[in-house]
A and B are shown apart, each in its own frame.
Chain A
Amino acid sequence: MPETARAPGAGCSPRGSSAAPVAFRAGALPRRWLSVPFGPMSVPAPNLCVVTSRHPDPAPPQLSGAQPGAVARPAPGPAADEGLARRLRALACTAPLHDLDVRKANLAGEYTVYAMAEVALAAIDLVTLNMDFDTGADHEQIVNRLLPRVAAQAPARPAAEHERVARWVLENLINVGSVDRGFRAVYGTFGPDGAYVRRDYDFKLVEEVPGPGGGVYLRTTDEAVNVLVGALDTDVTSAQIAAEVKLEVLISRGRLADAQLAAEQARYRTVQYSESLRRTLEATRRNVRAVDWLRTVPDMIAEALDHVADRYRHENAILTNIRRARDEAEDAEHKRRAAELVDIVKDCIRRHTQLQSRLLEAGPLFRAEQDRQAFAAPSARSGLDLYGQLLAPLLPLPVERALPVTDAFFARGTGLRTPAAVRLGDLTDLLLTPPAEREHLGAEMPEPDLVATPDDSRFSEEQLARAMELLDLPPDAPRRLSGLLAEARRHDPELPYLVALLAVHAASPPVGTAYRQGEQRLLFAVDDGTPLDDPEYGGADLVVGTALLDAAGMAADRTEAA
């Protein structure tokens, strides 16, 4: 029974076995990780797999205890181990998330109220969905969008603390502080000769990539997307198809809640698919000869175009169906969910369209590069092929062996530096010389001749304040414009004009802005058909009032919509 020979520690051992083969190696981790005390049982982590337990010393393979008979048994070969290794790696990807909840107790301050893993998953969601074809997600934007969720977990805490938590989580997902900005897990496999080998698995969840404007953007890695979607180690295309079939079935049965979940999963898949195609196209653009333009790339492009066309048709059909579901649904909740679903599918279609335009650009790009590179007159001399003869053979070598080559290149390829030679006499002179007059600053700037511009505002600040005060109505007592105008006229003959303007403006209140900014209240005006009886102004006698907005509800809504 070869399974048992390598089983202990492979899964979640309830006894917290001290000889877990999957353990984060202490030396490879940033200081922060080390702040957790070592020792097999010193971190009581009830919900954790052994993946997260730290085990600094490379203990010999766990042949002790549970499986005495396993010693004599021949170890299973690498083929049998492969699936296990893949699952161990997948398991390791979740470890940083669990670890956040373990380590929150060590932070200065009372942070146990926050569900860090939840915030982290939300952050990965946000980064994935804000990842565009070209760039990634903006760091600040992600923090801002995380805030409502963090705030909802501990509403009584100050906003600064919420922001600190959001930043902490995001930075830990990037793992700022380690030199690679990534994570490392150690797991064990049996080699072809039956020897047990511990291996390092390096992975990242959120990585930082350079953006077009010199900025730094965030991207979720494939590992993170897989952890997030929960479908580990699956084929992109087939998983997407499966997700969409599931969606269609769900919609036809009217189960919209599940349908939304499936649609979101389909969108994650779409993003992932775009990402892999983007990489291939990028390589194509850089490197004409290196890519097989005779067969592979045209096949790939044709396949991708087919895929886009197929998905486009498919998603349009879904869109039509959901729209119908949305319009026919009686239940308000169903209606809302269907509407959200429409947005998600629209987003999918948008991403596919983007992908398609990229695919169509690929052909002309290839031809232009072909012109430039292949049809130039050949050179008489032949030189060293730096890439093909040096760099490419170097990369597969182990670092130890590659080092002399790069050292040799460095020593002779960096040029020369003239060493500074100092005489003590010169140095003394230099140090005793008074600083030179700084004439290089140029001529003195003439004092700019500033003319005060006349204040041509129609109303003074004071008048505005007075008008706003007048319009600061209690929410339960709206007033007629005529009354407001009369009151304004008593204060100041100019004021009614301003009040009338503000009231007319309030007839079309900026609801969208108020929603986005999370305003508490909003001034509005409604025309109920009564004509305005006023000596100066004509029109409708508007009903002016204040509406209270549900700021917390809107914040929650925004988070969900994101």
Chain B
Amino acid sequence: MSEYRPDDGAWSAAAAADDRPADSADGPARSTGGGVTPADAADAARLVSYGLQPKLLPARDADYAELLRRHRDDPAFARIADAVATGLGLVVLEVSPRAGMALAAAEDSVFAVRMGDYARRANTDATDRFLHGLAHLAVAALAFPRPEDLADDGYIGRITVNGVDAFVRQACRRLEERAEARGENTDPASGAPGLEAAWRVWSRRSATGATKDARRLAGSTTGIVGKAVAFLTDSGFLQRTGDDAGGAYRTTPRYQLQVRDMAGSAAMAELLELGVVPVADGTPTLVPPDEGEDLVAGAGLPFHS
């Protein structure tokens, strides 16, 4: 995790603009030069403020587009803008015409989203907390089913709420079948809910449920996934494209950046810390061992049905 600390200016600056002169990579906080005027600082802060409005597209705002152009062409200005962002507790993921100024909240930043604010039940119930986190992971996994998709800047993922739920359920079912084939008893010991296998928690929760006011049942898995995609839409990470299968969405460039550069690697680091090394030893995954990493190609993509 330490590689993405907010004060790691060299990283954020390097990620922000690859074609910048090499001397700009030695720290944005210092060495901003003598030619900086308060007006420049105001412009830089304005660029950051545009970046904080994730739904704002550079193509729709001339001022935003102009500031982005200046960020690209004027290394000194770029350094101020990056410094402003870093000072606010933000990580600059990319500055480009397609994504705008893509910012992510650093840990403990005022901009960070806390699980307790996100879902009240998750505060007290570890199971719900896990389900909400897993829903976000599953949305990302289905939006970028293959490693190539996550790497390809031009890729646009498409997901549906029911598709995400079905996809996780399918994975859970395979684990269940596997456990059954091995003759394992997967029922957890009473009074030790934390020892229950993760897949069981999801498959045990009902997929949907009738409610009095015809809304989605919040505690059901489609309700949890629905909440996740609605939240991601507000973050400017997804765009709603239709109402099929519980709601259809497509990804934005920002989401790809966020998953690729922030979330994926952070979760990966945690997983490695647990001593789980995913690829090498052929541990449970949907892939046949020789097929490598591109296993869930097109999983649940709704436009092929």
Instruction: Assess whether A506 is interfacial by the CB under 8 Å rule.
Output: no
Partner-B contacts on A (CB < 8 A): 25, 58, 78, 82, 85, 139, 174, 176, 179-182, 186, 189, 197-202, 204, 207-210, 212, 214, 216, 279, 282-283, 285-290, 292, 368-369, 372-374, 378-379, 381-419
Nearest-CB residue, chain B, relative to A78: B185
Q: Is the CB of A398 within 8 A of B293?
A: no
**Complexed CA–CA distance, A398 and B276 (Å):** 12
B194 touches A398 (CB 8 A): yes
A409-B133 contact, Cβ under 8 Å, with A181-B209, A290-B287, A389-B293: yes
- Kindly list the 9 A-B residue pairs having the minimum CB-CB distance in the complex, ordered from nearest: A406-B133, A415-B235, A413-B263, A383-B151, A400-B194, A392-B285, A383-B150, A199-B187, A385-B293
A410 and B132 contact, Cβ closer than 8 Å, known pairs A384-B264, A385-B293, A398-B198: yes
Task: Give the CA-CA distance A401 to B195 in the complex, in Å.
Answer: 8
Query: Quick check: A383 and B130 within 8 Å, CB to CB?
Result: no
Is B279 a contact of A209 with CB atoms below 8 Å? no
Residue of A nearest to B107 (CB): A411
B35 to chain A: closest CB distance in Å?
31
Q: How far is the CA of A224 from the CA of B46 in the complex (A)?
A: 61
Are A409 and B232 CB-contacts (below 8 A) given A379-B151, A385-B294?
no
Which partner residue on chain A sits nearest B205 by CB separation?
A: A180
Q: Could you show 18 A-B contacts with beta carbons less than 8 Å apart?
A: A85-B185, A200-B190, A209-B207, A210-B222, A283-B170, A289-B294, A378-B148, A387-B295, A389-B268, A390-B137, A393-B284, A402-B198, A404-B270, A404-B274, A406-B136, A410-B136, A412-B267, A418-B111
Interface pair A287/B267, CB less than 8 Å apart: no
Per a CB cutoff under 8 Å, which of A210, A404, A416, A419 touches B246?
A210
Stretch at the interface among B37-45, B62-70, B139-147: B139-147
Size of the B side of the interface (Cβ < 8 Å), in residues, is: 120
8 A Cβ contacts from B175-224 to A? 175, 183, 185, 187-191, 193-202, 204-210, 219-220, 222
Query: Are B297 and A287 within 8 A (Cβ)?
Result: yes
Do B276 and A407 have beta carbons less than 8 Å apart? no
Question: How far, in Å, is B201 (CB) from chain A's closest CB?
Answer: 6
Contact, CB under 8 Å: A406 / B134: yes
Flag if B206 contacts A181 (CB, 8 Å). Answer: yes
Cα A197 to Cα B220 in complex, Å, equals 30
Q: How far is the CA of A285 from the CA of B297 in the complex (A)?
A: 11
Determine if B197 and A413 form an interchain contact, defined as CB atoms under 8 angstroms apart.
no
CB contact list, B272-305 vs A, under 8 A: 273-274, 276, 278-279, 283-288, 291, 293-301, 304-305
Q: How far is the CB of A434 from chain B (nearest CB, A)?
A: 29
Question: B25 at the A/B interface (Cβ < 8 Å)?
Answer: no
**A174 to nearest B CB, angstroms?**
8
Instruction: For the complex formed, measure the closest distance between the CB of A548 and the CB atoms of chain B, giving whole angstroms.
Output: 40
- Quick check: A415 and B199 within 8 Å, CB to CB? no
Complex interface: chain B residues within 8 A of A399 (CB) = 126-127, 130, 193-198, 201
Measured CA separation A283–B298 after assembly (Å): 11
Query: Which residues of B are found within 8 Å of A388, using beta-carbon distances?
Result: 278-279, 285-287, 293, 295-296
Closest residue of chain A to B247 (Cβ to Cβ) is A214
B118 touches A414 (CB 8 A): yes
CB–CB B305/A285 < 8 A: yes
Chain A residues closer than 8 Å to B133, beta-carbon distance: 403, 405-407, 409-410
Contact of A400 with B190 in the complex, beta carbons under 8 Å: no
Is A287 in contact with B286, judged by CB distance below 8 angstroms?
Answer: yes
By a CB distance below 8 angstroms, the chain B residues around A374 are: 297
| Per-residue contact bits, chain B 156-168, to A (CB 8 Å; 1 contact, 0 not) | 0000001101111
Task: List, in ascending order, chain B residues with CB within 8 A of A373's CB.
Answer: 146, 297-298
B133 CB to closest chain A CB (Å) equals 3
Query: Binary interface profile of B, 225-244, with partner A (CB < 8 Å = 1, else 0)?
Result: 00000011011110000010
A285 to B259, CA, bound (A): 26
B204–A180 CB distance below 8 A:
yes
Residues on A with C-beta less than 8 A from B246 are 210, 214
CB-contact partner of B288 in A209, A292, A368, under 8 A: A292
